[in-house]
């Protein structure tokens, strides 16, 4: 699991900031090589070290980096699988939001070793929602879940653009063992979304 997470961080840093930036991150994290095998099981502390080193090298807060990584995972040409998986959740952004409750199980079908936290969507009005990212995320420190909510912020922002929706997102912090994201849908059809056919085959 942690090997997959670390590999995602490596791809994000390399694709968005270049191989030299990743080399500096790897050195700062004390890794034994320039790359991380995706399926290699590693101590969760390595993930913390990699994130901390990336924040230092790129001079960015970890929360911002994690959000950017979430957007990268659903928008960059080199990583299209997650976008396809999420788009199969529905034809519109609201349908997509309601499909997030099942994302954990769908992700396991795609990658058996990928253990995502449980997501719970709550409807407050036709245009207001909150998403709870329950304990179980890969980023932990002193039993407090940190990080995955910020990744999901980036994912939601990227998917809103994908669907052509205009949304306002707010990370509300940790509440009762979960990170909470407040979602306000300003306009469902704000712009032309990216093309996607539910019946298309990957690749």
Which tokens in the block code for residue 130?
């909150």
CATH number of the domain at 72-187, out of 3.40.50.620, 3.40.605.10, 3.90.1520.10, 1.10.1060.10? 3.90.1520.10
The whole-angstrom separation of Cα 127 and Cα 198 is 24
Per-residue pLDDT tens digits for 77-113:
877 677 777 777 778 899 999 999 888 777 766 665 5
| Residue 6 C-alpha from the chain's centroid | 13
In the predicted structure, residue 38 carries a pLDDT above the cut 50: no
Beta-strand relationship, 178-187 and 144-145: unpaired
Tokens at 125, concatenated: 């009005």
Contact indicator for 108, 86 with CB cutoff of 8 Å: no
The stretch 152-169 carries a mean pLDDT of 92
Kindly list the domain boundaries of the chain, sorted by start residue.
2-60, 72-187
Q: What is the pLDDT of residue 140?
A: 47
Q: What is the pLDDT of residues 52-73, one digit of tens each?
A: 999 999 999 999 999 998 899 8
pLDDT confidence of 75, banded at 50, 70, 90? confident
Nearest alpha carbon to residue 85 among 66, 103, 97: 103
Chain segment 133-154, per-residue pLDDT in tens: 886 544 444 333 457 889 899 9
Distance CA 93, CA 64 (A): 23
């Amino acid at each position: 699991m942690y090997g997959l997470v670390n590999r995602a961080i490596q791809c994000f840093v390399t694709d968005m900031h270049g191989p030299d930036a990743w080399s500096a991150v790897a050195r700062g994290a004390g890794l034994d090589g320039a790359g991380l095998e995706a399926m290699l099981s590693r101590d969760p502390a390595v993930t913390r070290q990699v994130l901390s080193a990336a924040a230092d090298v790129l001079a960015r807060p970890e929360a911002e980096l994690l959000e950017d990584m979430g957007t990268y995972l659903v928008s960059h040409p080199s990583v299209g699988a997650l976008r396809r998986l999420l788009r199969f959740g529905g034809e519109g952004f609201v349908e997509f939001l309601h499909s997030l409750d099942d994302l954990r199980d769908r992700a396991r079908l795609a990658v058996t070793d990928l253990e995502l936290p449980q997501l719970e969507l709550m409807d407050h009005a036709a245009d207001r929602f909150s998403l709870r990212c329950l304990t179980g995320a890969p980023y932990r420190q002193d039993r407090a879940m940190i990080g995955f909510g910020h990744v999901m912020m980036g994912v939601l922002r990227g998917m809103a653009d994908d669907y052509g929706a205009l949304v306002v997102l707010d990370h509300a912090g940790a509440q009762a063992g979960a990170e909470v994201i407040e979602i306000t849908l300003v306009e469902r059809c704000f712009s032309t979304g990216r093309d996607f056919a539910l019946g298309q085959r990957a690749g």
